[in-house]
Structure 1
Amino acid sequence: MSPSVKIDEHPQGEGFPAFNASRRRQPPPKLKKPVPHYRHLVRWSKDSVPASIEEQQMNQDLILLRKGLDQFLNSHMSECEEMLARGPVPVSQVRVNGSVQGSTASAMAAQKAMEALKLHDEAFIEEKGNKKEPVEVQSKDDDLSSVTSSSTPSNKDDKKSNSTTTSTSSDSKKKKKKEEDNAPKAMYYELAKGIIQGLKALVTFDVEEIEKGMQAFEQAIKTADKQRKGTIIGLGSVKAVGSFVVGTIGAGSFRSMNRVQKHAELIYAEATILRSLLSVLYHLDVWMVVEECINLRHAFTIIQGLKSYMDSVESELRAGKSIDHHQIDEHLVSGVTLSYSLYNIVISFLPEVIVKMLQFIGFPSDRDWGMAMLGACGDWNPMAPPESPQQHAERLASSSNEGVRRQFCDMVPIIFQVIVSSFIPMNHIDLGYAQRINDYNLELYPESPFFLFFKGRNLQVTSKLDEAVAVYRSVKIEPHWHNLNHIFVFEEMMIAMMQGDHDTACKNSRQLLKESRWSKCAFRYLTAITGYERGDPAEKKKIDNLMNKVEGGMQKVAGMSIFFETFCARKSKRFLNEGGRLLLPNYDFMLLWNTFDMMPPKVLQSVLAHISSEVRRLEALLPAKMKAREDQPLAAKDQTIEAFSGGYLSGMFSNKNAILNDSKVNNYENFYDDYCLAFFLQGLVAYHSAFFPEEAFNSEMCELALHSFETVFRYAPLMKDDTYTYYFSHYYRAKIWIHEGRLDDAQARFKYLLGLSNTNLLGLPALVGGKGKNSLELFVLLKVHSGLLDIETARAAKSEASLKGSSIRTGSIRSGKY
């Protein structure tokens, strides 16, 4: 196609819908395979006599840990940590009816577990008291002198007595150590310690905390390994590479295991996965990623084997056979469900080439199926009508609620619906479904900072910004977990930036810079731009100092820079090079967090007015000769790769040098970066105003968006740094085409963007000169992959409507009736 040929803006499609579809409540997906309901396999009889002391120990530990988890989730972290620090009490020491007995039946497990907890408390209080005694005795010099003189042996009998006591004490210690060595190891305790320490590492991002987390998971791996059967090919830690080649483990391998051994395999796999994730953060080395991939594959063989085993048990149940002898409990069900689902979900977000490679070696990748599997664990159905009081009571009383991983199975769908979908557009979003799951858990844990955060986030992504802030401010967190509070501080800061509340944004950014270690680079930049937007001349020196330090705060994960830190570093350089000037830095940064999706119409109008005033200011600076040429095609007027095959600006205009000379703006080196940025942001806000969910389509805003994106395309060849605006403009114009029903055009545009990993294909002079690499390329590509899925969904809806004789408009994704 010739670059000078004008593209027909309306070659096909059925036009825009009069009323915008909901992007917040879409129909559930059509799954390619049935979802297993492992919760129906729970046949562990609490009235049966355990076969071994190890199983009795595990039963007791699980009851105690269930209580500890409830405390932790309900914001009583210190109580849970104290319980874990005291460690488990061997079953043989549990007191029943005043006497010390070994457990005789699982029916007594709950009573004995409570007795064990009481024993723990007494021992802990006694231990603390014993530690205080020397301090109290030696608090004064006189007291110390008297104690020293009175405690000195006065005769041989006293010496003999002291020697005997020492010998007895030494024997007692040896005996106690021998008992501890022979006692059953509490693998669930070790896993719980690792998870809490791992969470501390994530909220603090401190190297020492990450080291402790890795050590805790390593201890969990060793403890679980001792209770594994250890005779299956490919399951030993030494044979990790062998399991990578073998692929998976058959269901028969787990049939010969007892209940404890199955749990040991599960814990071994879980701890391996979690340790690998921390290891990548700790080493920050790309080679470590390769090594940990082998460990992750090794862990997956175990998870896959357990799933195959449970599938075979489910087949027996459907055939009418008894499955009681398998002794499957709710803890194993929730564990296998969580791990296998996460493998499916996480891998589905990777680029298609990597996904196909991983599928070739046996990894699964089906996001919708993984989400449905997690929902089945809690018996959640997105299409189910509201529950009756009786159904709700039955849900609360269900044994599936007791699984120690059940709440994590509920958390994952909520996280992906209300958090991940904000950064990476996803299909089949149903925020009402996520809210239903979250409300149920809030009923169990009304003070939980986790489920309260999800509640606030749900309000935030549905544009109820003030209500979200109220929820964030209501959360109470224990002082030694204050780093967890930084999540709420950050979200409140982003809402303040949306609403133009510069004082609150500045205050919160300063708190994060002072207290948090997540990203010094980003927090320095945020503190600088929020102060810059506030416009206090007295803060100029502080802002300059912060901008100077932004690049020095960058860090790497798996040997690669984090995209938003690269963005902040480049912007700080621009600020310093241009004498302390940046264009709309708040809105520019908010692009990374997709906050424009969350703005209500009133806020969008206010933001648009602010951006449009900057557009008018920059238009006044545009050279008159450039305005006169606006009816001529420029470099990016035709957006096909073929148009650039002869090199940048090839044949697009013959007087290139003259245009480059005419385009100069005095004392404004990056004028066209700012010019395109202003028009892109204007188009972005206009796009969200035009297609605000569940409101009337605004054709005026849609036209403004298209005009703004066309302006970006026209002046893109003159940009030097902010080339991401070019990519995003293509993405959002393709999104408009999807709304309009022009699915073929949208697909062609997405494929064009996928082909731009080699930036020289863009034909932009700055890029050909080696400058201006798109620091948000990964972010764009993730959005593009999601856009292609939107097209598939829209085509499927169109095809289904045609078969039913429906008049559903092409490209409009509407939610069904639940």
Structure 2
Amino acid sequence: MPPSAKETEFAQDQGFPSVNGSRRRQPPPKLKKPVPHYRHLVRWNKDKTPESVEEQQMNQDLATLRHIMDLFLNSRMAEAEAMLAQGVVPVGEGLPIPGAAGAGAGAATTTTASEKAAEATAISNNNKDDASSVTSSSAPSTTPSSANKDEKSEKKSASQSSSTGSSKKGGSKEVRSMYFELAKGIIQGLRALVTFDPFEIEAGMKAFEMAIKTADKQRKGSMLGLGSVKAVGSFVVGTIGAGSFKGMTRVQKHAELIYAESTILRSLLSVLYHLDVWMVVEECINLRHAFTIIQGLKSFMDSAESDLKNGKSIDHYQIDEHLVSGVTLSYSLYNIIISFLPDILVKMLQFIGFPSDRDWGMALLSACGDWDPMAPPETAKEHAERLASSANDGIRRQFCDMVPIIFQVIVSSFIPMNHIDLNYAQMINDYNLERYPDSPFFLFFKGRHLQVTSRLDEAVATYKSVQVEEPRWHQLGHIFVFEELMIAMMQNDHDKACENSRQLLKESRWSKCCFRYLTAVTGYERGDQGEKKKIDNLMEKVEGGMQKVAGMNLFFENFCARKSKRYMKEGHLLLPSYDFMLLWNTYDMMPPKVLQKALENISTEVRRLQALLPAKMKDRESQPLAAKDQTIEAFAGGMLGGMFSNKNAIIKDSKVADYENFYDDYCLAFFLQGLVAYHTAFFPEETFNKEMCNLAIESFETVFRYAPLMKDDTYTYYFAHYYKAKIWIHQGRLDEAQTRFKYLLGLSNTTLIGLPGLVGGKGKNSLELFVLLKVHSGLLDIETARVAAANGGASLHGSSIRSDSIRSSK
């Protein structure tokens, strides 16, 4: 029988802890395999042997690029882009300032490059051109894995004594560096993401194509790509062995890495640009080809680590901090991202050789920065040594730090994750803020940390402190405006929310569909009848602003489009701000005072709707909740049938005059009431609130009772199941929770993937993917809870993580 048809009465007084556990600071995971510390393998030119011109050029490029990246991260984008646009200074044409000769010199550059950068900065202040003017590496579009005969001939004839490529242009030589081209691609790709402009995306693709071509000229001859044939071959055969990399020069290893990285990044932009499902398939082949290179480099470093442990010298392998941070970042991301996919897809990808171990991937990134969540707080001396360490100067080191922070303070807000430790994320972020105090990136992470720990006012103050003055990066500032909008909606500040949504609609290109809807609903919530015509016009345009990614509509845009249709049809919406906030999981961030205010507002609507409920339906509420005739779960095996014994009578008795979608709103109101009550009952590190827990259960069961009568908002039914299963996890009823999750995943149905459709509704709901991701994470929660129970309970007692108290502001 389906879960709700045969469950016993909920034991409300048993199993709950007196004080809620923390979802913000959890024990680190127990890893299935050891984590390598590749940063200890850095051994290059220990004996100061003379370097080739090719290697000297790469060292100089890396030193200059390190300085450029420091400028960019510290909100000096114009200077960084100007220096990058000036291109490479060949070895010998400019005198390196101290430290430029070493690849680890963080802020070093050449005198000539600095002078040119200063000149270019002055020019750029008067010339605000489009994205392609800065990305001087843009070239005609080609496939990432293609290398035609002309390119091979050019490579064979190119000088092997330089790490840069040359091309004739107006009688002069334009020198290219593979690292400079990669940096141009990354900056242009980031601009494409913050603007979501097709022209910017295309420019980013072309920039990565130039990086691919430039790196390809520096690869070892036997490793040359053979276009699609090579990509398909590597897809079938698997990875490249470690021995292939042992015979390479240091520059050739870097060329392989950049070739793979550029292929990956170009493929991701291609999926956004072409909006075609078939393009996804083609790019998957390119991603597999890139992975063979990354896997081979990892195998090479594993072999070097084994040699080091056995007392052998590894100096001749010429491993530097830039190679270490690059391989660490790429291989970790493959592990982490694939782990978020549904189980059936993960197994398919593992079958063809892709890795999937999120905890191990996170630990590998931590090892790159020598971070340990269980280590005692650093002394002043240790902290100074960390800041001064050359091992921290890997060109990709800051990205290795960003990924754990992003997953802890951003991704975990949308998809519940295990082993969250926000203090640990804060420790990493504080270190980077010390290096880059004006960085919009690390300041954003600081604001998000405050936000997800329910310190909303402090988060707003942090967001307001960020100034993105460079016009070309104005869109980056919209991230902060959007977060302020979400906080204003949480705090029921409709005026501020309306102001921010209007700014985003006017200036941002991210999602016109979403911003039109938000501008309309925040104006609607203010209740100003003088704005009704504007709200109506915006609602009519919501659906027209939808866009596709990889041939599919975005789930939150589907949501906005369906709600706008409802408004145009009925002229009203129920609690639209609280409804929309479900998509951004803001209820996890609300402090108790804000939750209490939300409960008051929602309960007011609950009482209003209860007054409209037909009397005959109220009489039916006294009957026990049963699958037979009160819910849509009518058949064995968990199938949702919608067949109850007195169906026609119920439908006749349920009608509400002039309110076609009454039961959609009725179930939505009760679900939101249950959701807020759930978060109040289990607020982290606070006393368990039994009264609120009971209210949540009763509210969810009301949703189950009236779900057969819903027409559109069927997502409330699935979310109600999800949160009731979460209550069972808190209570320790893991088997029941697992049964409920599997029921939602459809594993007991004839469909393997996808939620079962409600007969009264229209099949799939607009938040189906969102529900599935949460349920997938819920199953991991159960697994973690079982392991903890088997070990006698896990806690952070006695651990020495930096533990300034994470408590909410009440």
Q: 1:759 to 1:333 in 2, by over 3 A?
A: closer
Deviation per CA, 1:93-152, whole angstroms, max 9, x where unpaired?
Answer: 12379xxxxx997699899943232353477599999x9xxxxxxxxxxxxxxxxxxxxx
1:518 corresponds to which residue?
A: 510
How many angstroms apart in 1 are the aligned matches of 2:754 and 2:349?
Answer: 30
Deviation per CA, 1:144-169, whole angstroms, max 9, x where unpaired?
Answer: xxxxxxxxxxxxxxxxxxxxxxxxxx
Which residues of 2 match residues 469-548 of structure 1 at below 5 A? 469-480=460-471, 481-548=473-540
Q: Which amino acid aligns with 2:232?
A: V
Deviates more, 1:361-370 or 1:2-11: 2-11
1:22 corresponds to which residue?
A: 22
Which residues of 2 match residues 770-789 of structure 1 at below 5 A? 771=762, 773-789=764-780
3-state SS of the aligned residue for 1:89? coil
2:759 corresponds to which residue?
A: 765
How many angstroms apart in 1 are the aligned matches of 2:222 and 2:4?
Answer: 71
How many angstroms apart in 2 are the aligned matches of 1:358 and 1:516?
Answer: 36
Determine if contact 1:648/1:762 at 8 Å carries over to the other structure.
no
Determine if contact 1:21/1:814 at 8 Å carries over to the other structure.
no
How many angstroms apart in 2 are the aligned matches of 1:557 and 1:249?
Answer: 32
1:722 corresponds to which residue?
A: 713
Q: 1:127 to 1:470 in 2, by over 3 A?
A: closer
Which residues of 2 match residues 267-666 of structure 1 at below 5 A? 267-480=258-471, 481-578=473-570, 580-632=571-623, 633=625, 635=627, 642-643=635-636, 648-650=641-643, 652-653=644-645, 655-666=646-657
User: What is the deviation of 1:643?
Assistant: 3.5
Determine if contact 2:45/2:318 at 8 Å carries over to the other structure.
yes
Deviation per CA, 1:340-382, whole angstroms, max 9, x where unpaired?
Answer: 0000000000111110000000000000000000000000001
2:116 corresponds to which residue?
A: 120
Q: Which amino acid aligns with 1:643?
A: A
Determine if contact 1:46/1:107 at 8 Å carries over to the other structure.
no
How many angstroms apart in 2 are the aligned matches of 1:70 and 1:4?
Answer: 57
2:142 corresponds to which residue?
A: none
Q: Which amino acid aligns with 1:479?
A: E
Q: Structure 1 residue 77 and structure 2 residue 77: aligned?
A: yes
How many angstroms apart in 2 are the aligned matches of 1:641 and 1:658?
Answer: 17
Q: 1:361 to 1:108 in 2, by over 3 A?
A: closer
Q: RMSD in angstroms over aligned alpha carbons?
A: 2.9
3-state SS of the aligned residue for 2:641? coil
How many angstroms apart in 2 are the aligned matches of 1:298 and 1:717?
Answer: 49
Q: Structure 1 residue 817 and structure 2 residue 795: aligned?
A: no
Determine if contact 2:2/2:639 at 8 Å carries over to the other structure.
no
Determine if contact 1:95/1:116 at 8 Å carries over to the other structure.
yes
1:805 corresponds to which residue?
A: none
Q: 1:119 to 1:617 in 2, by over 3 A?
A: closer
User: What is the deviation of 1:15?
Assistant: 1.1
How many angstroms apart in 2 are the aligned matches of 1:352 and 1:325?
Answer: 42
Q: Which amino acid aligns with 2:504?
A: L
Q: Which amino acid aligns with 1:575?
A: Y
Determine if contact 2:754/2:768 at 8 Å carries over to the other structure.
no
How many angstroms apart in 1 are the aligned matches of 2:507 and 2:564?
Answer: 22
- Partner of residue 180 from structure 1, selected from 165, 173, 193: 173
Determine if contact 2:46/2:315 at 8 Å carries over to the other structure.
no
How many angstroms apart in 2 are the aligned matches of 1:506 and 1:195?
Answer: 34
Q: Which amino acid aligns with 1:37?
A: H
Deviation per CA, 1:223-264, whole angstroms, max 9, x where unpaired?
Answer: 000001130386767511111111000000001100000000
Determine if contact 1:3/1:637 at 8 Å carries over to the other structure.
no
Q: 1:816 to 1:573 in 2, by over 3 A?
A: farther
Determine if contact 2:216/2:224 at 8 Å carries over to the other structure.
no
How many angstroms apart in 1 are the aligned matches of 2:248 and 2:388?
Answer: 30
How many angstroms apart in 1 are the aligned matches of 2:540 and 2:266?
Answer: 36
How many angstroms apart in 2 are the aligned matches of 1:760 and 1:445?
Answer: 44
TM-score in terms of structure 2 length: 0.89
How many angstroms apart in 2 are the aligned matches of 1:604 and 1:211?
Answer: 44
Q: Which amino acid aligns with 2:720?
A: S
Q: 1:766 to 1:109 in 2, by over 3 A?
A: closer
Q: Which amino acid aligns with 1:712?
A: V
3-state SS of the aligned residue for 2:223? coil
Deviation per CA, 1:684-718, whole angstroms, max 9, x where unpaired?
Answer: 00000000000000000000000000000000000
Determine if contact 1:23/1:693 at 8 Å carries over to the other structure.
yes
User: What is the deviation of 1:647?
Assistant: 7.3
User: What is the deviation of 1:773?
Assistant: 2.6
1:41 corresponds to which residue?
A: 41
3-state SS of the aligned residue for 1:730? helix
How many angstroms apart in 2 are the aligned matches of 1:661 and 1:8?
Answer: 31
2:148 corresponds to which residue?
A: none
Which residues of 2 match residues 668-707 of structure 1 at below 5 A? 668-707=659-698
User: What is the deviation of 1:92?
Assistant: 2.6
How many angstroms apart in 2 are the aligned matches of 1:285 and 1:43?
Answer: 45
3-state SS of the aligned residue for 1:354? helix
2:202 corresponds to which residue?
A: 211
How many angstroms apart in 1 are the aligned matches of 2:461 and 2:640?
Answer: 55
User: What is the deviation of 1:659?
Assistant: 1.1
Aligned residues between the structures: 756
2:86 corresponds to which residue?
A: 86
Q: 1:360 to 1:107 in 2, by over 3 A?
A: closer
User: What is the deviation of 1:449?
Assistant: 0.2
Deviation per CA, 1:429-455, whole angstroms, max 9, x where unpaired?
Answer: 000000000000000000000000000
User: What is the deviation of 1:815?
Assistant: 6.8
Q: Which has the larger radius of gyration?
A: 1
1:798 corresponds to which residue?
A: 789
How many angstroms apart in 2 are the aligned matches of 1:175 and 1:219?
Answer: 15
Q: Which amino acid aligns with 1:368?
A: D
User: What is the deviation of 1:175?
Assistant: 9.6
User: What is the deviation of 1:49?
Assistant: 3.9
Q: 1:621 to 1:39 in 2, by over 3 A?
A: same
3-state SS of the aligned residue for 1:95? coil
How many angstroms apart in 2 are the aligned matches of 1:19 and 1:784?
Answer: 25
Determine if contact 1:7/1:638 at 8 Å carries over to the other structure.
no
How many angstroms apart in 1 are the aligned matches of 2:615 and 2:101?
Answer: 91
Q: Where in structure 2 are there 5+ consecutive unaligned residues?
A: 128-165, 801-810
3-state SS of the aligned residue for 2:92? helix
2:212 corresponds to which residue?
A: 221
Determine if contact 1:717/1:765 at 8 Å carries over to the other structure.
yes
Deviation per CA, 1:483-520, whole angstroms, max 9, x where unpaired?
Answer: 00000000000000000010110000001001111111
